[in-house]
Structure 1
């Protein structure tokens, strides 16, 4: 079973459902999809901070705890679209690492992101937006630590012994729409990530150009299931 946890935010619930269906539609193996909804995790008690743009900014680090510190789990932001078999990502697991992620070099040029939220800049930005977590090696992410550590300590992986514990996900997963150059060819990236805000927001319906049109097509396909 491929264990996938997706960050859930009330303002982006449509994005969550479209992503979930896009994973299911392409998967060749059984997938368990769990929303990380902080209001449902009673042990998660930290209050939302002013610079926190989503409800799951910090609750994502509860995944090893929710997985009983056993096996591997995937975490991903909800503002993504899966275009390929999630098994291809799952098969990159390597037990010599505690986590694996796409190691972007993202230095934001803008001061604001979607819905006017403050755009923060820090080393390893967006690394934690898609993670393969080797949960048995993430035992430092206790409930107390996740509730009390600073955002930078969490997102910069200060809870690891060092960067040697971080493996690199290969293959174009976690392509940052309108931050990185469009994939070549356009269909090359298996996972699109609207980190600046996606077409589910009225003001950003064209974010990504043809990639936005692809998201709407995926939304329409998902809605057919509910007819």
Structure 2
């Protein structure tokens, strides 16, 4: 399985911990790739004007994932502020048939007005659906998600999955995109923990739910 992790230089520690947690828990063959905007620009695959209002450098480049994977198989995009406690390949269990993508279909209003890194918390339809996406590279709608589409369509069109019919979007269990601070913490760690409002790599986020798991993973990073 090819996995593309969004990279933002401002959150390098988060990226490295995310990648390590994927590889450390993998029980099947996986390959992990950084999704770096500057590299995609050098390759001519991402040509949009700079979006100074984007929350991350990979806000829209994530939709290039299936094009980059270039395979008639499943591939994954995930934000860098995730921590995995199970093999990501387990997400393939019990999928809905004939879906272009599978996502956790959050339906919530953010509990906080500000993220812990000082950024304003925005609210919009299908918020956080695109932070973990399982793409089926065999689906024609996924094959049609070309660089031309990613470079010309609006952010809302891409993030709200307007390029798909609703019945082409499969549902994943909440455990695959558990939003720290937005849901009450379960007694057992979710498979995929998303520190969406800020994680322990920020000084003022040391006490968020499951901070200890991230800190322990960070301590295992190679120098």
TM-score higher than 0.5: yes
Residues 1-227 of structure 1: matches in 2 within 5 Å?
2-41=1-40, 42=43, 43-68=45-70, 70-137=72-139, 138-160=142-164, 162-170=165-173, 172-183=175-186, 185-187=187-189, 189-208=190-209, 211-221=210-220, 223=221, 225-226=222-223
Residue 115 of structure 1 aligns to a residue whose secondary structure is: coil
Superposition RMSD on alpha carbons, in Å?
1.6
User: 1 CA distance for matches of 2:10 and 2:94?
Assistant: 32
- Contact 2:96-2:171 at 8 Å conserved across structures: no
Deviation of 1:35 after TM superposition, in Å, equals 0.7
Number of residues of Structure 1 aligned to a counterpart in Structure 2: 218
Q: Where does the alignment leave 5 or more consecutive residues of structure 2 unmatched?
A: none
Structure 1-normalised TM-score? 0.90
User: 2 CA distance for matches of 1:59 and 1:79?
Assistant: 16
For residues 33-64 of structure 1, give each alpha carbon's deviation from its aligned partner in whole angstroms, at most 9, with x where no partner exists.
00111111131011332331100010000011
User: 2 CA distance for matches of 1:69 and 1:111?
Assistant: 40
Deviation of 1:135 after TM superposition, in Å, equals 2.0
User: 2 CA distance for matches of 1:191 and 1:92?
Assistant: 17
Deviation of 1:114 after TM superposition, in Å, equals 4.0
User: 2 CA distance for matches of 1:103 and 1:174?
Assistant: 9
Deviation of 1:95 after TM superposition, in Å, equals 4.6
- For residues 163 and 29 of structure 1, do their structure 2 counterparts lie closer, same or farther at Cα, with a shift above 3 Å needed? same
Residue 31 of structure 2 aligns to a residue whose secondary structure is: strand
Deviation of 1:117 after TM superposition, in Å, equals 2.2
For residues 70-120 of structure 1, give each alpha carbon's deviation from its aligned partner in whole angstroms, at most 9, with x where no partner exists.
321011101010001222113344550000011111222433324322322
Residue 136 of structure 1 aligns to a residue whose secondary structure is: coil
User: 1 CA distance for matches of 2:87 and 2:61?
Assistant: 26
Residue 152 of structure 1 aligns to a residue whose secondary structure is: helix
Q: Where does the alignment leave 5 or more consecutive residues of structure 1 unmatched?
A: none
User: 2 CA distance for matches of 1:57 and 1:182?
Assistant: 27
